């Protein structure tokens, strides 16, 4: 297989993919709503046989240096990534940005802003839960999170740890799922803002888990605004989804990415590598980024 990789830099020796190379481009660390530190996520991926990975924390690039260093030490290829939530009407679409330069000031400013807004929103959600008579404090959520990106998944864990719900799913069902009594919508980037940010940072934008979002009619619009890939391989996509999204990729000339959306023990049923990106699709992605 011909390798058409981007320029290596900073001493990184990219893994030359073969048909057998295992690639997982959707992983979360404790810098968003995952539970493991970036080095531990990378080691687990290595142990599972993976050679090419991306860290895609929500609204954060804080884990990128550690993940990259660990990949380098273990002889793996690291793709710096991020997952951004975009508001489209009442819907939320998730974009993955790959090949971003985490040092870009605009990216750091925007992620700080988003983290601040997440904190304000969490305060309001905790207040709403207290109003319902639940004994939960903002500090409980902070303690679970351990970093500045506060997610509803952290809140669900805090509610479970305090015995206020039997499991995380019940927290969403009863209180914090969309439209439930303690749900507070947070400010989301517009599609244009998110795509421009990813591009300005030297990255390429990919629509995450379309089978979860279930707004396939939006894909053409996303492509027009600059999305170049679709996350076809995803644990919750069945073979019908995969076949459908492969067709969508062919129609709009998109590359097909894949990843597990690993969150550590916060989503215990999702293992690293639960979905993989085909090496030939990875080679298409490489044409858009430089590592
Ligand atoms: P946020 O970004 O703060 O709105 O939180 C979204 C997080 O909550 C993501 O990690 C979702 O996967 C997770 N989430 C949403 N609904 C559920 C659910 N019903 N059960 C478990 N996790 C969920
Ligand atoms: Mn998450
Ligand atoms: Mn997502
Ligand atoms: Mn994710």
SS3 content of the chain, % helix, strand, coil (to 5): 45, 15, 40
Cβ atoms of 136 and 146 closer than 8 Å: no
* DSSP-based three-state secondary structure for 163: coil
Cβ atoms of 264 and 31 closer than 8 Å: no
Q: Report pLDDT digits (tens) over 114-173.
A: 999 999 999 999 999 999 999 999 999 999 998 999 999 999 999 999 999 999 999 999
CA triplet 97, 102, 106: central angle to 5 degrees? 90
152 alpha carbon to ligand 1 midpoint, in Å? 6
Ligand 1 contacts CB of residue 262 (under 6 A): no
Mutate to test the pocket of ligand 1, among 83, 141, 153 (most ligand atoms within 8 A of CB): 153
Q: Closest by alpha carbon to 83, among 253, 257, 248?
A: 257
Q: Which two tokens stand for residue 70?
A: 């660990």
Residue 80: beta bridge partners?
A: 55
Q: Which two tokens stand for residue 187?
A: 């400010």
Ligand 1 contacts CB of residue 152 (under 6 A): yes
149, 151, 226, 268 from 31: Cα distances, Å: 7, 11, 27, 18
Closest atom of ligand 1 to 118 CA is 3
Closest atom of ligand 1 to 28 CA is 10
Closest atom of ligand 1 to 177 CA is 16
Query: pLDDT per position in the chain (291 positions), as tens?
Result: 334 444 445 556 788 899 999 999 999 999 999 999 999 999 999 999 999 999 999 999 999 999 999 999 999 999 999 999 999 988 899 999 999 999 999 999 999 999 999 999 999 999 999 999 999 999 999 999 989 999 999 999 999 999 999 999 999 999 999 999 999 999 899 999 999 999 999 999 999 999 999 999 999 999 999 999 999 999 999 999 999 999 999 999 999 999 999 999 999 999 999 999 999 999 999 999 998
pTM of the model: 0.95
Ligand 1 contacts CB of residue 33 (under 6 A): yes
26 alpha carbon to ligand 1 midpoint, in Å? 15
């Amino acid at each position: 297989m011909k390798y058409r990789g981007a320029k290596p830099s900073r001493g990184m020796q990219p893994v030359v993919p073969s048909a057998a190379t295992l690639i997982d481009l959707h992983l979360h660390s404790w810098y968003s709503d995952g539970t493991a530190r970036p080095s531990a996520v990378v080691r687990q991926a290595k142990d599972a046989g993976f050679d090419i990975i991306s860290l895609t924390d929500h609204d954060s690039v804080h884990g990128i240096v550690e993940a990259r260093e660990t990949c380098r030490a273990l002889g793996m290829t690291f793709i710096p990534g991020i997952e951004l939530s975009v508001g489209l009407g009442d819907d939320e679409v998730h974009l993955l940005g790959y090949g971003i330069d985490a040092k870009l000031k605009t990216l750091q400013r925007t992620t700080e802003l988003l983290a601040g807004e997440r904190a304000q929103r969490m305060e309001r959600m905790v207040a709403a839960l207290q109003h319902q008579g639940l004994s939960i404090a903002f500090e409980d959520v902070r303690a679970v999170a351990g970093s500045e990106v506060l997610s509803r998944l952290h809140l669900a864990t805090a509610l479970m740890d305090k015995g206020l719900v039997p499991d995380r799913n019940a927290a969403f069902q009863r209180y914090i799922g969309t439209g439930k009594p303690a749900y507070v919508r947070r400010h989301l980037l517009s599609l244009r803002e998110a795509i421009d940010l990813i591009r300005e940072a030297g990255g390429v934008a990919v629509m995450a888990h379309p089978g979860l979002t279930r707004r396939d009619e939006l894909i053409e619009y996303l492509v027009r605004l600059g999305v170049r890939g679709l996350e076809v391989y995803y644990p919750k996509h069945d073979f019908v989804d995969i076949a459908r999204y492969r067709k969508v990729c062919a129609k709009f000339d998109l590359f097909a990415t894949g990843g597990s959306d690993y969150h550590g023990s916060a989503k215990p049923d999702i293992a690293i590598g639960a979905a993989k990106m085909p090496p030939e699709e990875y080679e298409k992605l490489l044409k858009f980024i430089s590592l």
